[in-house]
């Protein structure tokens, strides 16, 4: 950002008009009227942006609602956020709760809290250690899901896909195993190398597929090999080479 841009700091209650700023820090309550562009946007209180937000760094440890789109290099949510528009970011880290009413495009996303995405989620790397709900498609090169709660997504596409029950306390793991409280529910999973536990899906399609414990899958389609647990009753179909 340009050196002559002003900083904005609100520790009480205030209204900020749209425009370009350097650093925006909110520890009180603030309403942002219009589009905001800044080098950093940090909220430990509460804020409401009526338009779009464009920033290099966005950190939310309080609560924030963005009524437009969010465009940033990095967003970290340890509090709660609600983004009505689409989200474009290089890196997304959610340890609190985040609701996105449209699509998410990112290079890397890490979820250790909870995330709800009403559209599609597109990433290079998708890592989840918490719960999430994606109404659209999850498309990522590497997908690593370690479940400690229920996870739902319409369909999944990727290269390397790993879905496992969380490696938490032994008794908590037993509770999750038998109660199905930690489970991935989806329609179709398609990738190159796939490993699944505690997963419900209609179709799993890949080059190398391994079906672990507590899975409920209608059909597995594979090109090279499929390894299915002895206690599982799953129809496996080898995909013919073109």
Contact call for residues 207 and 220 (beta carbons, < 8 A): no
CA distance 89 to 80: 17
Which H helix or E strand runs over 178? helix 170-179
pLDDT mean values, one per 10 residues, the chain (242 residues): 80 93 96 97 97 98 98 98 98 98 98 97 97 97 94 98 79 48 94 96 96 92 88 74 62
Q: In this structure, are residues 88 and 106 in contact, taking their beta carbons and an 8 Å threshold? A: yes
Please give the C-alpha separations between residue 169 and each of 46, 147, 153, 165, 215, in angstroms, as whole numbers.
35, 13, 26, 11, 21
Q: What predicted TM-score, i.e. pTM, was given to this entire model?
A: 0.91
Q: What is the pLDDT of residue 235?
A: 74
pLDDT of residue 178: 47
Residue 69: φ, ψ to 5°: -90, 155
Q: Distance between alpha carbon 175 and the CA centroid of its chain, in Å?
A: 25
Q: Is 25 helix (H, G, I), strand (E, B) or coil?
A: strand
User: Residue 237's pLDDT is what?
Assistant: 82
pLDDT given at position 169: 42
What pLDDT is attached to residue 171? 42
Domains of the chain: which residue ranges? 6-238
pLDDT of residue 1: 43
């Amino acid at each position: 950002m340009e050196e002559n841009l002003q900083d904005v700091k609100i520790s009480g209650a205030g209204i900020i008009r749209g425009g370009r700023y350097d650093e925006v820090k909110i520890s009180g309550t603030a309403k942002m009227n219009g589009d905001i562009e800044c080098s950093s946007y940090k909220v430990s209180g509460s804020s409401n942006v009526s338009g779009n937000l464009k920033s290099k760094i966005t950190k939310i440890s309080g609560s924030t609602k963005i009524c437009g789109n969010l465009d940033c290099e990095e967003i970290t949510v340890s509090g709660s956020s609600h983004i009505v528009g689409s989200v474009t970011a290089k890196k997304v880290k959610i340890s609190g709760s985040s609701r996105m009413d449209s699509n998410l495009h990112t290079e890397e996303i890490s979820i250790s809290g909870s995330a709800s995405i009403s559209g599609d989620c597109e990433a290079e790397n998708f890592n989840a250690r918490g719960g999430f709900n994606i109404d659209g498609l999850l498309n990522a090169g590497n997908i690593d899901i370690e479940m400690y709660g229920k996870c739902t997504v319409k369909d999944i596409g990727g290269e390397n896909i790993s879905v496992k029950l969380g490696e938490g306390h032994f008794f908590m793991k037993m509770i999750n195993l038998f109660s199905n409280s930690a489970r991935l529910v989806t329609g179709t999973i398609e990738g190159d190398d796939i490993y699944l536990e505690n997963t419900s899906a209609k179709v799993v399609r890949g080059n190398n597929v391994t079906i672990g414990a507590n899975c409920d899958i209608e059909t597995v389609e594979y090109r090279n090999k499929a390894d299915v647990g002895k206690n599982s009753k799953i129809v496996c179909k080898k995909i013919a080479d073109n």
